[in-house]
Amino acid sequence: MAAHTLIRPTGFVDAPFGHDGKVARLAGGLNFFASVELLGIEGNRRVSTELLPVEGIESRFDDDLAGQWRALTDPRSPLQLGDRIVRLDQPQVMSILNVTPDSFSDGGQFGDAGSAVEAGVQMASEGAAILDVGGESTRPGAQTVWAQDEIERVRPVVERLAAGGSAVSIDTRKSEVMSAALQAGAKLVNDVSALTFDPRSAGVVAASDAPVVLMHHLGSPETMQQDPRYDDVLIEVYLWLQERISAAEGAGINRSRILIDPGFGFGKTVAHNLELMNGLALFHSLGCSVVVGASRKRTIGALSNEAPADKRLAGSIAFALKAVEQGAQIVRVHDVPETVQALRTWRGLRDQALTPRIG
């Protein structure tokens, strides 16, 4: 018998009209589901699955499943990023703005603060809700950058973009960089280590009013792609993020300020990444908004005759749409105008489906 049960929404439908009691709304967003998969968990793996309709599902709930159901269906609060409000009842774009010489796709593209700021302003004009500024590459094999060097890269960019009215996120693992960027005007922390790299980071975030993205990873950037293994990647990533959420709350960070990222490509094989994307809706039962960063990742190249990073736009958009179909609130991307156009088209389809027919 399974020691624990998790709920994964499935059976997504276009609209709830005429289906009272038979469908549920996912995290207060634009997605509705008519069935769920109950996953029986023993240790780090699934030992049973059961597909059930939403109608009458409450009869199967104990206290734990009832809590998961509330987490799945409760609306996500908007992000208050300074003067900017980013609503999470619809998918949003976070743009990648790397001020680095060695990021896997765009390293060295912005050689100075001025060109990085210009690119950020352009990304915002193209529809990016959040500009995610990073000064250290975390691609496979990347080496750690000294904190002061990282600060010197990102601080002038953050300062100028924030002063111009953009909602800026700082992509870093280091408390010193977080503090410097927050003082310069960043309003969100995106930590690929989920506050594990630097023991002081949780305190920095807790003392601020900034939301934080906790991302799953396996190992360090230097070693993470050296034969990563899991008993069951979907379940292990879920349980790891659950632990990191609890640790963040224990450090004084309210769950309403926590977002989660399953860490596409961070210590995962192609098969692991695809399994995570297929099962993405499971993560909503953690009660946090979901961020997905699959843009231009190695998996796309592996599925398309080893296409180089700058030839992975179509695959990136395919993953972005797969993510939002399962309720992801934020997609983190390199190609802003193309992704925004894809999401606006998706949103048009959803708006039409959610327009009641009269007569």
- Report the catalytic residues: 297, 332
Spatial distance between the Cα atoms of 141 and 234, rounded to a whole number of angstroms: 24
Residue position matching structure tokens 């990873």: 217
Q: Give the three-state DSSP class for 349.
A: helix
Yes or no: say if 237 and 276 are a contact pair by the CB < 8 Å rule.
Answer: yes
Cβ-based burial of 345 (10 A; exposed 0-12, middle 13-18, buried ≥19) = exposed
Measured CA angle at 281 (ends 270, 263), to 5 deg: 40
- The Cα 213–Cα 343 span in angstroms is 22
Cα(286)–Cα(149) distance, rounded to whole angstroms? 36
- DSSP assignment letter at 265: T
Question: Cα separation of 128 and 132, whole Å?
Answer: 10
Task: For the beta carbon of residue 256, count every other beta carbon within 10 angstroms.
Answer: 12
170: enclosing H helix or E strand: strand 168-171
- The answer to whether 197 touches 191, Cβ cutoff 8 Å, is yes
User: Looking at this protein, which amino acid is placed at residue 21?
Assistant: G
